[in-house]
Amino acid sequence: MTPEEFKQLLSQKGIDLSDEQMAQFTRYFELLVEWNEKMNLTAITEKKEVYLKHFYDSISLAFFEDFSTNKSICDVGAGAGFPSIPLKIVFPTLQVTIVDSLNKRITFLTELVNELKLEEVSLYHDRAETFGQKEEFRAAFDYVTARAVARLNVLSELCLPLVKKDGFFLALKAAKSEEEIIEAKPAIAILGGKFQKEVSFELPVTADERHIVVVQKKKETPKKYPRKPGLPNKQPIK
Question: What DSSP character marks residue 220?
Answer: P
Confirm whether residue 43 is marked as ligand binding. Answer: no
Q: Is the peptide bond before 86 cis (omega within 30 degrees of 0)?
A: no
How many angstroms separate the first and last alpha carbons of the chain? 41
Is residue 157 within a helix (H) or strand (E), and if so which, with residue range? Answer: helix 152-159
Within 13 Å of residue 105, how many CA atoms lie on the same side as its CB? 20
Residue 179 in marked binding region: no
187 is in an annotated binding site: no
Is 167 marked as binding a ligand? no
Q: Which residues contact 236 (CB under 8 A, 6 or more apart)?
A: 151, 153, 154, 157, 187
Q: Residue 70 and residue 76: Cα distance in Å, rounded?
A: 19
195 by DSSP, 3-state: which?
A: strand
Q: Crossing angle for the helix pair 178-190 and 152-159, nearest 10 degrees?
A: 30
Any idea what the Cα angle at residue 183 is, between residues 182 and 186, rounded to 5°? 90
192 labeled part of a ligand binding site = no
- In Å, what is the CA distance from 237 to each residue of 15, 29, 131, 161, 188? 39, 38, 19, 14, 9
- Scored b (16 or more CB within 10 A) or e, 195-225 reads beebbeeebebeeeebbbbbbbbeeebeeeb
The binding site for S-adenosyl-L-methionine consists of: 77, 82, 128-129, 147
The binding site consists of: 77, 82, 128-129, 147
